[in-house]
Amino acid sequence: MEANLAGMTRSRNPKFGHYVGEFLTPGIGHILAAAGCDYVFFDMEHSGFSFETLKQAVRYFEAASVPVIVRSPSKDYDVIARICDAGAEGIMVPMIKDAAEAEQMVHHIKYPPVGGRGVALGIAHDNYHAGGVSVSERLENANKRTTFFALIETSEGAENADAIAATPGVDCLWVGHFDLTASLGIPGQFENLDYLTALGRIIQAAKNHNRSLGRLVGSPKEGLADLKQGFDFCCYATDTALYQGALVAGISELRSAVNDG
């Protein structure tokens, strides 16, 4: 397995990760590494995590050699550039609707001549290096390292999935399944033909342009079904769901045993 996200997106071998949106401790990176995670999905859109928290989190995951995909809370340049400067290897941007928007996000993420990201060196994203490598080489290396995950989660995005996948700089199509059903007017109806048609369009777009394909899943069964359809980034469960599920099961078993006794 490649040790960085850019390398992972060039392979169609399965990559397994976990979502962190609530529980963040200095040991979280090592906990994920010990569990065999290839990457972490760190959510700034729905978590309330701040940029200061992000800078700490990136170091926790770096210490355990777990690459970080950060979901941005917006498409704004100032937000995305700060996520990059904090050291995130992967940038996931929500609600990508068409190729023009995908191209704009690549422009935010990449340094010239590929994009228009503002240059700041000797900070978190290049491990505070004082020098020794030319500026042009440092920018080129950052562009190679920084990876764009286009989150497709609207009916418009699904319609334009092929053009989004064809956009240079898009490394992975990520399916936001709950938002996609909501956008289609069928919230939570994952067996509905409209959803399956939109999903199939995204899957085919990734295949057409040899892009990675990812999704958050709630169970191993779900993940295995995705892998059979062509997904290669499988993000297993949210931290809250896993914690709550284990806690509910344990407490229920104890309470049931006491009541039966």
The per-residue pLDDT for range 215-248, each reduced to its tens digit, is: 999 999 999 999 999 999 999 999 999 999 999 9
What is the pLDDT averaged over residues 250-260?
93
Residue type, 257: A
Q: How far apart are CA 27 and CA 30, in angstroms?
A: 5
Q: Which residues contact 36 (CB under 8 A, 6 or more apart)?
A: 16
Distance (Å, whole) CA 45 – CA 50: 10
Decide: helix, strand or coil at residue 86.
coil
- The helix or strand, by DSSP H or E, that contains position 170, with its residue range, turns out to be strand 170-175
What is the tens place of the pLDDT at every residue in 110-119?
999 999 999 9
Which is higher by pLDDT, 130 or 26? 26
Beta carbons of 147 and 180 less than 8 angstroms apart: no
Contact between 171 and 116 under an 8 Å Cβ cutoff? The reply is no
The answer to whether 121 touches 163, Cβ cutoff 8 Å, is no
Helix (H) or strand (E) holding 237: strand 233-238
Q: Answer for the pair 23, 1: CB distance below 8 angstroms, yes or no.
A: no
Domains, the chain, ordered by start: 5-260 (3.20.20.60)
| Catalytic residue (choose from 18, 46, 108, 177) | 46
- Among 16-20, 177-181, 255-259, the range scoring the smallest mean pLDDT is 255-259
What does pTM read for this prediction? 0.94
What's the CA gap between 60 and 54, in Å, rounded? 10
Closest residue by Cα to residue 120 from 128, 90, 93? 128
Classify residue 222 as left (phi > 0), alpha (psi -120 to 50) or beta: alpha
Q: What is the pLDDT of residue 260?
A: 81
What is the predicted pLDDT for the residue at 2? 64
46 is catalytic: yes
**Total length of the chain:** 261
Average pLDDT across the chain, whole number: 95
**Residue 136 structure tokens:** 């042009």
Range of weakest confidence among 52-66, 114-128, 167-181? 114-128
Question: Percentage of residues in the chain with pLDDT exceeding 90?
Answer: 92
Contacts of 254 (CB under 8 A, 6+ apart): none
Condensed to tens digits (0 to 9), the pLDDT of residues 52-75 reads 999 999 999 999 999 999 999 999
